[in-house]
Amino acid sequence: MTKAFIFDLDGVIVDTAKYHYLAWKKIASGLGIEFTHEHNELLKGVSRVRSLDIILELGKVEASQEDKDKWLIQKNEDYLSYLVDMDQNEILPGVLPVLQFLKEKNQPIALGSASKNARPILEKTGILHYFDAIVDGNDVSNAKPDPEVFLIAAKLLKTEPKDAIVFEDSVAGIQAANIGNMVSIGIGEKSILEEAQYIFKDFTQIDKSFIEQLIRK
Ligand code: BG6
Ligand code: MG
């Protein structure tokens, strides 16, 4: 029996959510916009372009397309500067054993991320080979909470949405999985991810018997 196991990237597999936050905070500060960790939750799982719009809306700042394009480039350059030395050590605790266990159980694995930087991150951290399919920000036209990214991933893994299991750290991503009629597993705080079907603080809290139960379901 096989399911489709779909992983978000930022904040699920690697702790890059903190780098996105720092890079956006720099842009926001430059524009005199206050940008807190709470505001940052609104950006998790959201595309780069939409993230900038949310920040500008928060600060009630209107901007030309030219300025927006400039800030989008600055944000990404700053974000990428944090990734220069990235290696296996940036993989979040408990993730590798779960990927390994899924492979042992012959379960197909996909990435379902809004990021356009997903592939280089998987390469740098040495885990690209675990993924049977990669769907990222370059492949979708509708951002989470639209389920498009996960529906494409399930299709590539030749699995029905109801047999897909999604690991997500963002509210938008959990909503996308739920709307897509998939099993949603929140990785993070209960108070934030309350819409998820299951919630774990991190992957160290997920044991083999839980994964086996998901496979059998
Ligand atoms: C998501 C992150 O995975 O990817 C968002 O949660 C980010 O914070 C989005 O904005 C787009 O990423 P990138 O790397 O294409 O700017
Ligand atoms: Mg994420």
Chain segment 115-135, per-residue pLDDT in tens: 999 999 999 999 999 999 999
Domains and CATH numbers, the chain: 4-14+88-216 (3.40.50.1000), 17-83 (1.10.150.240)
2 by DSSP, 3-state: which?
coil
Phi, psi of 190 (to 5 degrees): -60, -40
120 close to ligand 1 (CB < 6 Angstrom): no
Question: Is 1's pLDDT higher than 90?
Answer: no
Q: Is the dihedral of CA 106, 101, 45, 171 positive or negative?
A: positive
Distance from C-alpha of 104 to C-alpha of 179, rounded to nearest angstrom: 30
Query: Mean pLDDT throughout 24-35?
Result: 97
**What pLDDT score does 158 carry?**
97
Q: Is the CB of 45 under 6 A from ligand 1?
A: yes
Residue 181, by phi and psi: left (phi above 0), alpha (psi -120 to 50) or beta?
Answer: left
Q: Which residues contact 100 (CB under 8 A, 6 or more apart)?
A: none
User: What would the mean pLDDT of 39-55 be, rounded to a whole number?
Assistant: 94
Say what the pLDDT of residue 163 is: 98
pLDDT for position 107: 98
Residue 133 corresponds to which amino acid? A
Task: Quote the pLDDT of residue 202.
Answer: 98
Hey, which of 7, 8, 10 would you mutate to test ligand 1's pocket, going by the most ligand atoms within 8 Å of its Cβ? 10
Active site (annotated) includes residue 8: yes
Instruction: Please spell the DSSP secondary structure of 129-170, one letter per residue.
Output: GG-SEEE-TTT-SS-TTSTHHHHHHHHHTT--GGGEEEEESS
For 178, the 3-state DSSP assignment is helix
Q: What is the mean pLDDT of residues 176-180?
A: 98
Kindly name the residue from 10, 78, 85, 207 that is annotated as catalytic: 10
Residue 217 has pLDDT above 90, yes or no: no
- Residue 164 CA to ligand 2 center (angstroms) comes to 17
- Average pLDDT of the segment spanning 128-143: 96
Q: How confident is the model at residue 32 (pLDDT cuts 50, 70, 90)?
A: very high
Q: What is the pLDDT of residues 52-109, one digit of tens each?
A: 999 999 999 999 999 999 999 999 999 999 999 999 999 999 999 999 999 999 999 9
Q: Ligand 1: does its nearest atom lie under 6 Å from the Cβ of 136? A: no
Instruction: Please state the atom number of ligand 1 nearest to the C-alpha of residue 117.
Output: 14
- Residue 28 confidence (pLDDT): 98
- What pLDDT does 53 receive? 97
The CA distance from 163 to 5, in Å, is 9
Residues in the chain: 217
Q: Higher confidence at residue 143 or residue 164?
A: 164
